[in-house]
């Protein structure tokens, strides 16, 4: 695939320690819904094909280094660029050529105006503070995307009826949660008071540790592989925060203020917790004379 990465700014300083380098080392133990399923990829590809049918070979921006999205059967000549601010994720997870990826902050991209046709992000919006940083990303994408360009996001949205942390932890101890990946989402959302406050990952770890200080013993009792259970230790001591937002909050950012987009499609997958992992396709509105 062709690439055009020279317009990227330096972005954030290298992330040499902390949560994301550890995630990179544990990547093979991360699974759905924290990684996209075949159903999620299919929903994304349907939107891409729609754009390609009407407008031809796209210029693609991938926020993050999700291998499943890079490996889609992109048309010959696709200009593909991935951006991630953590060098360890690029080194350990990115499956493509080095010239197709850059280390940079999503909020500090200096790509030219209207220089991308499709922007993709799998489960990344919640990494940004709400509403300030998420709103800034909308402004960046509004500037970078061409008229009628697609922004395709898989989201992690909280349940309308917030669970209690105690209920989630009880399900964990009773063995009714099938994987750590589902536990992370359910417990993180249950512990979050508001999207603006978010939830600190260290808080998630402490909640689990309080009811199950011996993780290996818990894993054996509920039938999880021990290494799978111990992967929660990537959250231990982490001050990173996740900011889970509702569909309405996402729509307000992209279509209201800052705006510049319209909702084109919304897909809810069928797997467990799928209602919390929808894919939204937003279309860049045509530019006005003032833009």
Distance (Å) of CA 63 to CA 59, 94, 179, 213, 222: 13, 12, 26, 36, 36
Among the listed residues 253, 33, 190, the one whose alpha carbon sits nearest the alpha carbon of residue 123: 33
pLDDT on residue 130 = 98
Indicate the SS3 state at residue 37: coil
pLDDT on residue 20 = 60
pLDDT on residue 288 = 81
pLDDT on residue 260 = 96
Give tens-digit pLDDT for 193-242. 999 999 999 999 999 999 999 999 999 999 999 999 999 998 999 999 99
Distance (Å) of CA 288 to CA 142, 147, 150, 260, 291: 12, 10, 18, 10, 5
Element (DSSP H or E) covering residue 40: helix 38-55
pLDDT on residue 26 = 65
Distance CA 94, CA 70 (A): 9
Retrieve residue 120's tokens: 């993709």
pLDDT on residue 18 = 55
Chain CA centroid to CA 206, Å: 24
pLDDT on residue 178 = 95
Distance CA 138, CA 213 (A): 41
Distance CA 111, CA 145 (A): 10
Strands 116-122 and 59-63: parallel
pLDDT on residue 184 = 96
Mean pLDDT of 14-33: 61
pLDDT on residue 64 = 96
pLDDT on residue 23 = 66
pLDDT on residue 11 = 34
Distance CA 117, CA 151 (A): 8
| Residues 6+ away with beta carbon under 8 Å from 159 | 189, 275, 276
E-strand ranges in the chain read: 59-63, 79-84, 101-103, 116-122, 145-154, 199-200, 241-242, 261-267, 279-284
Mean pLDDT of 61-74: 96
Give tens-digit pLDDT for 164-202. 999 999 999 999 999 999 999 999 999 999 999 999 999
E-strand ranges in 245-286 read: 261-267, 279-284
pLDDT on residue 14 = 39
Running DSSP on this structure, what letter comes out for residue 254? I
Element (DSSP H or E) covering residue 52: helix 38-55
Running DSSP on this structure, what letter comes out for residue 256? I
Give tens-digit pLDDT for 110-151. 999 999 999 999 999 999 999 999 999 999 999 999 999 999
Q: How far apart are the first and last CA of the chain?
A: 31
Kindly report whether the global pTM for this prediction surpasses the value 0.85: yes
Q: For residue 19, is pLDDT > 90? A: no
Residues forming a β-bridge with 62? 82, 120
Among the listed residues 113, 162, 142, the one whose alpha carbon sits nearest the alpha carbon of residue 253: 142
Give tens-digit pLDDT for 247-278. 999 999 999 999 999 999 999 999 999 999 99
């Amino acid at each position: 695939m062709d690439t055009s990465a020279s317009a990227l700014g330096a972005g954030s300083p290298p992330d040499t320690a902390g949560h994301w380098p550890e995630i990179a080392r544990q990547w093979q133990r991360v699974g759905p819904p924290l990684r996209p399923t075949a159903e999620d990829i299919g929903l994304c590809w349907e939107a891409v094909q729609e754009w390609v049918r009407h407008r031809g070979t796209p210029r693609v921006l991938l926020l993050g280094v999700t291998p499943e999205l890079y490996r889609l059967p992109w048309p010959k000549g696709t200009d593909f660029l991935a951006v991630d601010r953590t060098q360890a994720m690029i080194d350990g997870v990115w499956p493509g050529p080095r010239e197709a990826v850059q280390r940079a902050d999503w909020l500090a991209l200096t790509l030219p105006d209207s220089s991308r046709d499709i922007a993709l992000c799998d489960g990344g919006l919640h990494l940004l503070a709400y509403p300030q940083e998420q709103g800034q990303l909308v402004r960046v994408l509004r500037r970078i995307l061409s008229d009628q360009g697609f922004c395709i996001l898989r989201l992690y949205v909280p349940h309308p009826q917030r669970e209690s942390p105690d209920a989630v932890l009880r399900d964990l101890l009773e063995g009714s949660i099938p994987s750590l990946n589902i536990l992370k989402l359910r417990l993180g959302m249950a512990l979050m008071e508001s999207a603006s406050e978010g939830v600190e990952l260290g808080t998630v770890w402490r909640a689990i540790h309080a009811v199950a200080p011996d993780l290996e013993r818990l894993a054996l009792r509920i039938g999880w592989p021990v290494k799978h259970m111990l992967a929660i230790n990537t959250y231990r001591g982490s001050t990173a925060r996740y900011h889970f937002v509702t569909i309405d909050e996402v729509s307000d950012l992209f279509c209201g203020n800052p705006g510049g987009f319209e909702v084109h499609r919304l897909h809810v997958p069928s797997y467990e917790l799928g209602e919390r992992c929808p894919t939204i396709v937003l279309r860049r509105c045509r530019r006005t004379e003032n833009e």
